[in-house]
Amino acid sequence: MEQYATFFKSMLRHPLQTGSVIPSSRYLAQTMVRDMDLKNASCVVELGPGTGAFTRTILSQLNPQAVFFALEWNPNLVTFLKREFPNAEIHCDSAEHLGKYLAERNTKADYILSGLPLSWLPKDLGERVLDTVHESLTDHGKFSMFQYIHSSMTPMGAQVHHMLKKRFRSIKISRTLRNLPPALVLTCEK
Ligand SMILES: C[S@@+](CC[C@H](N)C(=O)[O-])C[C@H]1O[C@@H](n2cnc3c(N)ncnc32)[C@H](O)[C@@H]1O
């Protein structure tokens, strides 16, 4: 229950950055990782973990030897995440700085999962994040993100789709109705 209260408070304080009133469901989390072989991954990154709806699923499937870190911009959510996942590496930083953390380890990511509300963030920030995501993936890496079905049909939603198509060679779209609101997962291959 605490995760709902923490998430809701974030939404009241930072509506555009939070982009939702409640955390994603475990069904959406499972769809986010469905095309990812997390057991055999060397490096996985999460952007915008919020209260950890996807973090929990990622950590339950990830090889314990793998590098994993998450970048969350909101310090209150970082405090919550550090308490909830004491062994996970969570940084209070913006997603666009992802390359710095990979460079420190001299590695690239097999998989990057994003909870960022790209339709609501400033377009130039979204472009920078997606450039960094693309550069940060290995040659066979995958990036997954979600959009609520209703917002995917708006001009801002279509713009996000266009930004992905400019960078990735394929985009697979899966639908999850068991989420409030129902959502699409876009899994992009480099
Ligand atoms: C829609 S919520 C998703 C949270 C969680 N992944 C989920 O699905 O329940 C978006 C999250 O992205 C975070 N966020 C927004 N802009 C960010 C940025 N530039 N860098 C990192 N995190 C950001 C917000 O603080 C929030 O936690």
| Spatial CB neighbours of 152, under 8 Å, sequence gap ≥ 6 | 158, 160, 161, 184
**What is the four-CA torsion angle of 6, 9, 14, 19, rounded to 10 degrees?**
70
Q: Taking CB atoms and a 6 Å cutoff, what residues make up the pocket around ligand 1?
A: 17-20, 23-24, 47-50, 53-54, 71-74, 77, 94-95, 115-117, 121
The top-level CATH class assigned to 2-189 is alpha beta
Give the residue, by CA position, lying nearest to ligand 1 atom 17: 73
pLDDT tens for each residue of 158-169: 999 999 999 999
Q: How far is the CA of 74 from the centre of ligand 1 (A)?
A: 8
pLDDT tens for each residue of 140-164: 999 999 999 999 999 999 999 999 9
* Atom from ligand 1 closest to the CA of residue 74: 25
Q: Where are the domains of the chain?
A: 2-189
The predicted model gives 15-44 an average pLDDT of 95
